[in-house]
Amino acid sequence: MPEQKIMVSQRSCAVHVYLMANHVWIADGEFLGDQLRARGNTAEEAMSAWRRAAASKPRITSNVSQR
């Protein structure tokens, strides 16, 4: 399966989905500077797992108070 575009947190991400073994699909892509990889029994399950992993990735926010 070619590269797929997935929207996560209002960001477009390029995710490669491929068949690794019989009934084992891998979704592999970069989100916020980190490489994420997820698997599933189908390509769709792998993409959904990747989207969940990216959405649950902690984000560093700056809480700097201005005086």
Name the residue ranges covered by the structural domains of the chain: 4-55
Q: Return d(Cα 18, Cα 25) in angstroms, integer.
A: 6
Which residues 6+ apart lie within 8 Å of 40 measured at CB?
25, 27, 46, 47, 48, 49
Q: Is residue 37's pLDDT more than 80?
A: yes
Give the residue, 16 or 5, on which the prediction is more confident. 16
Q: Which of 2, 13, 1, 26 is nearest to 57 (CA)?
A: 13
How much is the average pLDDT of 33-56? 91
When pLDDT is averaged across residues 19-46 and rounded to a whole number, the result is: 92
